[in-house]
Chains A and B, each alone.
Chain A
Amino acid sequence: GAGVSQSPSNKVTEKGKDVELRCDPISGHTALYWYRQSLGQGLEFLIYFQGNSAPDKSGLPSDRFSAERTGGSVSTLTIQRTQQEDSAVYLCASSPGGRVETQYFGPGTRLLVL
Chain B
Amino acid sequence: GENVEQHPSTLSVQEGDSAVIKCTYSDSASNYFPWYKQELGKRPQLIIDIRSNVGEKKDQRIAVTLNKTAKHFSLHITETQPEDSAVYFCAASTGDYKLSFGAGTTVTVRA
Contacts and interface: CB of A to CB of B under 8 A. Distances in A.
Interface residues of A, number: 21
A101 B43 contact: no
B60 to A, nearest CB: 19
Interface in A86-114: 91, 95, 99, 101-108
A91 B49 contact: no
Given A41-B104, A43-B89, A102 B49 contact: yes
A94 to B, nearest CB: 11
A42 interface: yes
B95 A105 contact: no
A91 B89 contact: no
Given A41-B103, A42-B104, A102 B98 contact: no
Nearest to B51: A101
Central interface residue in B6, B32, B93, B99, by most chain A CB within 10 Å: B99
A48 interface: yes
A48 B104 contact: no
Chain B interface size, as a band, is 20 to 34
Given A50-B97, A102-B34, A42 B102 contact: yes
A56 interface: yes
Contacts of B100: 45
Central interface residue in B43, B96, B103, by most chain A CB within 10 Å: B43
A101 B94 CA distance: 10
Interface of A: 4, 31, 40-43, 45, 48, 50, 56, 91, 95, 99, 101-108
30 contacts: A4-B43, A31-B97, A40-B104, A41-B103, A42-B101, A42-B103, A43-B89, A43-B101, A45-B100, A45-B101, A48-B97, A48-B98, A56-B97, A91-B43, A95-B97, A99-B96, A99-B97, A101-B34, A101-B95, A101-B97, A102-B34, A102-B46, A103-B34, A103-B46, A104-B46, A105-B43, A105-B44, A105-B45, A106-B43, A107-B42
